[in-house]
Structure 1
Amino acid sequence: MKQAIVHIALVVRDYDEAIEFYTQKLHFTLVEDTYQPEQDKRWVIVSPPGSQGTTLLLAKASKPIQNNFIGNQAGGRVFLFLGTDDFWRDYQDIVDQNIEIVRKPKETDYGIVAVFKDLYGNLWDLVQFNKNHPIYKRIK
């Protein structure tokens, strides 16, 4: 048996502002942007550069209760983890893009990590894993 997590839904306020942030500031690829008339919504998928794994489904809040979770999908914890093959290149790019850094870079036993906020306030780890970490080979 082979399974995979294909998409993670990220609740957003507006499709276009979310697409702009992820494609322009984080350099994600816009994989799909398809209007679904039967539900009056768009199917918007973005992916980190060079990634063949899980993608983000940018899901516009469509009910009042969903608005409460924009920017706080994990209750204040780091929600998403962006693995990189060059931490300092990507960290400097995030700084240059004026993306808010919440925790400055830190060397750990598993690699180097910093925490940043996306346009809505969700917390992300930017992480480069050490070569002996099990995840290293998945993003190398």
Structure 2
Amino acid sequence: MTGLADNRRVATVAIVVRDYDEAIAWYVERAGFVLTDDVDLGGGKRWVTVAPANGNGARLLLAEASDAEQASRIGDQTGGRVFLFLDTDDFARDHQAMLANGVEFREAPRFEAYGTVAVFADLYGNLWDLIEPKRQG
């Protein structure tokens, strides 16, 4: 395909939340993310992003639901499938820290051909994989 830049990347993924502040608290205090933006846009709207503390990967835009239709999607943005994948270089370390911070894991860690993984839920019930990819070689 011609005309497309080679340096594009997915930078931000929106996730619908019930309340900006409760979502910030959960992602920062329990999941270990950092708050990267919190900008008042007026009219009750904010541009709120969080990201993994190391700065790697996409940011999450915490988008507060503005109507009943958006609110109906909170916690089930993918029909019950795992929604997001959080890579780590040390599964055991991060799994233990997240458990200690009150993150709800839906299963015990398992070892797959692609790495060590366990499903956890965010504060609204969206499912994530915590995964340490299998090292090559």
The question of a shared fold, defined as TM-score above 0.5 by the shorter chain, is answered with: yes
Residue 31 of structure 1 aligns to which amino acid in structure 2? T
Q: Which residue of 1 aligns with 2:98?
A: 94
Residue 19 of structure 1 aligns to which amino acid in structure 2? I
Query: Which consecutive aligned stretches of 4+ in structure 1 deviate over 3 angstroms post-superposition?
Result: none
The answer to whether residue 126 in structure 2 is matched with residue 117 in structure 1 is no
Residue 72 of structure 1 aligns to which amino acid in structure 2? D
Q: Which residue of 1 aligns with 2:132?
A: 128
Q: Which residue of 1 aligns with 2:57?
A: 53
With structure 1 as the length reference, what TM-score do the two structures score? 0.90
Q: Which residue of 2 aligns with 1:36?
A: 41
Provide the aligned C-alpha RMSD in A: 1.2
Using the alignment, how far apart are the partners of 2:53 and 2:108 within structure 1? 23
Structure 1, unmatched stretches of 5+, are 134-140
Deviations 1:6-25 (A, max 9, x none): 11000000000000000111
Residue 100 of structure 1 aligns to which amino acid in structure 2? E
Correspondence for 2:16 among 1, 5, 11: 11
Identity of aligned residues (%): 48
Using the alignment, how far apart are the partners of 2:135 and 2:65 within structure 1? 39
With structure 2 as the length reference, what TM-score do the two structures score? 0.92
The answer to whether residue 29 in structure 2 is matched with residue 24 in structure 1 is yes
- The alpha carbon displacement at 1:124 in A equals 0.5
The answer to whether residue 66 in structure 2 is matched with residue 62 in structure 1 is yes
Residue 74 of structure 2 aligns to which amino acid in structure 1? I
Using the alignment, how far apart are the partners of 1:131 and 1:51 within structure 2? 21
Structure 2, unmatched stretches of 5+, are none
Deviations 1:25-48 (A, max 9, x none): 1110100000002x5400000001
Residue 68 of structure 1 aligns to which amino acid in structure 2? S
Using the alignment, how far apart are the partners of 1:90 and 1:62 within structure 2? 33
